[in-house]
């Protein structure tokens, strides 16, 4: 069997520095860049999608940017066809393909030959979309899933509508229960055949630095004309015929380029501008400011989702991943560029990595994908009022969360207060306790036969975590 040809991959959250590293790498190893960002494939929204400028390209060939009309849709299968052809062409010319982009789903599609579920997006026309297939209440959807895939239904909460719909879509598209496909995918997880011999660079920045960087990026986009760019796209969409609705994995919120961050967030502002109800200028300005806030939030949330995907779905596969620290841009050359160059050169020459260790080598436990049993382990937190947590890893994260620690502290406080002499008097009939807010503020009842409405110690611990008790004078 012939050896796989080599490619480099640059991954990381938005704002981490993927674009800069990819250009630096290309200059160092005679490479060409292949885009794997779904939104940057579309013409338009150059500002919103943070598309690389001609100046930033520094003469390096860039492929699969601006290749799809904004009124069209390009799914992952079409991207895969275009990207594999492009990569092989680059290799045939003796160059090094450098795959870079923030859409991890797309990146994985051109690195591994079989992703089973991941490789087959569920597509519906506007008349076949789940909204047209019957009642959409959570209970109705859950019952439909229970009928066709009871195993998957047992893993999901009735109110987890998004995942229930996804499982129904998979079944209706493939005819195979979602749970069966997941089980098959788990068996192949560690032996998925690769298209290329790849080496991945994970560009990272500390959370405070990244958040600040993303906030400044939004401000830069606004100054560069983001609002006008979105206005132009809205006009184009309004004058275009209806398109097919496509849902890929769990990230889609619309279709095509309309999924780009910024389009949805600024909709309230444009709706206010276009309304005929005489909305005053001050209200419109306030709406615009709120849209900016929402855009910053959406950008941070997108970065969190990318980070989660890399940790849970990329690092767990059979490609070495090396961390590149971009926190201090003043030391980029020392801590990012030179490290990446050294790793890339050793990899491309089939040398041994004696100095640098991959994420998988440094943290073997991180490289282990969660089993289905662990992923769908159901846990109930009695401290957090019976909240259900799905998944062994998510359960561990919940126990470390600020919310859980807050409720745990509340339980400890209430338990101590429940043991106080004052509350003992309440138990004996001297006080009336009402489940009202305001803390344990006791006042003498003043009646010979007060009514005890509720006593802290008589409630389950998980309820006490969120209920404060106020003893007050009883009414006759």
**Average of per-residue pLDDT across 161-168:** 86
Nearest to 347, CA basis, from 337, 336, 359, 358? 358
pLDDT at residue 415, as a whole number: 80
Alpha-carbon span 71 to 69, nearest angstrom:
5
In this predicted structure, which of 82-91, 128-137, 311-320 has the lowest mean pLDDT?
128-137
* pLDDT of 50 over the 90 cut: yes
**Average of per-residue pLDDT across 14-34:** 97
DSSP-derived 3-state class of residue 395: helix
Non-local CB neighbours of 423 within 8 Å, separated by 6+ positions:
417, 431, 440, 442, 455, 456, 457
Alpha-carbon span 424 to 22, nearest angstrom:
69
* pLDDT of 456 over the 60 cut: no
Question: How many C-beta neighbours within 10 Å does residue 429 have?
Answer: 15
**Average of per-residue pLDDT across 286-304:** 95
Question: How many C-beta neighbours within 10 Å does residue 275 have?
Answer: 10
**Average of per-residue pLDDT across 390-417:** 83
**For residues 112 and 246, which has the higher predicted lDDT (pLDDT)?**
112
Task: Report residue 173 as tokens.
Answer: 């598209």
Phi, psi of 333, deg, nearest 5: -60, -40
For every residue of 334-367, DSSP letters joined together read: IIIIHHHHHHHHHHHTT---SS---HHHH-TTTT
Residue 455 carries which DSSP code?
-
Nearest to 322, CA basis, from 340, 348, 347, 297? 340
Average of per-residue pLDDT values in the chain: 80
pLDDT at residue 126, as a whole number: 36
In this predicted structure, which of 122-136, 168-182, 394-408 has the lowest mean pLDDT?
122-136
Strand partners, 42: 68
**For residues 2 and 211, which has the higher predicted lDDT (pLDDT)?**
211
Alpha-carbon span 141 to 161, nearest angstrom:
7
Alpha-carbon span 90 to 84, nearest angstrom:
10
pLDDT at residue 162, as a whole number: 79
Answer for the pair 227, 266: CB distance below 8 angstroms, yes or no. yes
DSSP-derived 3-state class of residue 476: coil
* pLDDT of 123 over the 70 cut: no
Answer for the pair 30, 58: CB distance below 8 angstroms, yes or no. no
* pLDDT of 270 over the 50 cut: yes
In 243-391, alpha helices (H) = 267-274, 281-309, 332, 338-348, 359-362, 372-375
pLDDT at residue 388, as a whole number: 77
Q: Percent helix, strand and coil across the chain, each rounded to 5?
A: 50, 10, 40
The pLDDT-based confidence of 225 (bands split at 50, 70, 90) is: very high
Question: How many C-beta neighbours within 10 Å does residue 192 have?
Answer: 17
**Average of per-residue pLDDT across 135-147:** 87
* pLDDT of 372 over the 80 cut: no
pLDDT at residue 75, as a whole number: 82
| Predicted TM-score of the model (pTM) | 0.69
Distances (CA, A) of 118 to 73, 112, 253, 378: 18, 11, 17, 24
**For residues 84 and 272, which has the higher predicted lDDT (pLDDT)?**
84
Query: 299-323 burial, b if ≥16 CB within 10 A, otherwise e?
Result: bbebbebbbebbeebbbbbebbbbb
- Which domains can be identified in the chain, with CATH numbers? 119-189 (1.10.20.140), 403-472 (no CATH)
Kindly report, residue by residue over 36-46, the tens digit of the pLDDT. Answer: 999 999 998 89
In 349-475, alpha helices (H) = 359-362, 372-375, 392-400, 402-418, 421-427, 461-464
* pLDDT of 223 over the 60 cut: yes
In this predicted structure, which of 4-8, 242-246, 314-318 has the lowest mean pLDDT?
242-246
* pLDDT of 430 over the 50 cut: no
Kindly report, residue by residue over 168-212, the tens digit of the pLDDT. Answer: 988 887 888 988 888 877 666 656 789 999 999 999 999 999 999
Kindly report, residue by residue over 61-81, the tens digit of the pLDDT. Answer: 999 999 998 888 888 889 999
* pLDDT of 276 over the 80 cut: no
Strand partners, 63: 34
Please report the sign of the dihedral spanned by the C-alpha atoms of residue 447, residue 449, residue 451, residue 456.
Answer: positive
**Average of per-residue pLDDT across 314-341:** 95
The pLDDT-based confidence of 412 (bands split at 50, 70, 90) is: confident
């Amino acid at each position: 069997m012939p050896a796989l040809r080599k490619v480099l991959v640059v991954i990381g959250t938005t704002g981490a520095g993927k674009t800069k590293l990819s250009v630096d790498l290309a200059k160092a190893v005679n490479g060409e860049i292949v885009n794997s960002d779904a939104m940057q494939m579309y013409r338009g929204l150059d500002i919103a999608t943070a598309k690389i400028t001609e100046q930033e390209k520094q003469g390096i060939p860039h492929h699969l940017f601006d290749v799809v009309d904004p009124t069209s849709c390009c799914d992952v299968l079409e991207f895969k066809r275009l990207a594999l052809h492009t990569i092989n062409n680059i290799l045939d010319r003796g160059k090094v393909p450098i795959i870079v982009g923030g859409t991890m789903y797309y990146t994985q599609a051109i690195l591994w030959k079989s992703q089973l579920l991941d490789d087959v997006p569920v597509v519906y026309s506007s008349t076949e979309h789940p909204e047209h297939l019957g009642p959409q209440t959570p209970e109705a959807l859950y019952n439909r899933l229970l009928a066709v895939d009871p195993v998957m239904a047992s893993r999901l909460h009735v109110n987890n509508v998004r995942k229930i719909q996804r499982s129904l879509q998979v079944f209706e598209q493939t005819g195979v229960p979602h749970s069966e496909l997941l089980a098959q995918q788990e068996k192949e997880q560690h032996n998925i055949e690769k298209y290329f011999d790849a080496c991945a660079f994970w560009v990272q920045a500390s959370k405070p630095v990244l958040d600040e960087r993303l906030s400044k990026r939004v401000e830069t986009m606004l100054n560069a004309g983001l609002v006008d760019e979105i206005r132009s796209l809205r006009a184009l969409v309004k004058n275009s015929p209806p398109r097919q609705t496509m849902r890929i994995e769990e990230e889609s919120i619309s279709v095509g380029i309309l999924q780009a961050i910024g389009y949805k967030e600024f909709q309230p502002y444009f709706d206010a501008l276009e309304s005929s109800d005489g909305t005053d200028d001050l209200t419109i300005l306030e709406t615009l400011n709120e849209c900016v806030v929402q855009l910053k939030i959406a950008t941070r949330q997108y970065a969190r989702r990318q980070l989660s995907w890399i940790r849970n779905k990329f690092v767990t596969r059979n490609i070495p991943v090396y961390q590149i620290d971009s926190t201090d841009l003043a030391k980029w050359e020392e801590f990012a560029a030179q490290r990446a160059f050294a790793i890339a050169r050793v990899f491309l020459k089939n040398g041994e990595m004696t100095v640098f260790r991959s994420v998988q080598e440094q943290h073997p436990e991180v490289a282990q994908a969660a089993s289905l049993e662990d992923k769908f382990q159901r846990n109930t937190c009695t401290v957090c009022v019976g909240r259900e947590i799905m998944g062994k890893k998510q359960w561990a994260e919940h126990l470390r969360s600020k919310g859980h620690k807050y409720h745990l502290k509340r339980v400890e406080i209430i338990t101590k207060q429940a043991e106080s002499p004052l509350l003992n008097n309440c138990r004996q009939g001297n006080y009336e306790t009402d489940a009202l807010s305001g803390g344990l503020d006791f006042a003498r009842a003043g009646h010979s036969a007060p009514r005890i409405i509720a006593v802290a110690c008589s409630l389950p611990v998980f309820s006490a975590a969120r209920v404060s008790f106020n003893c007050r004078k009883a009414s006759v």
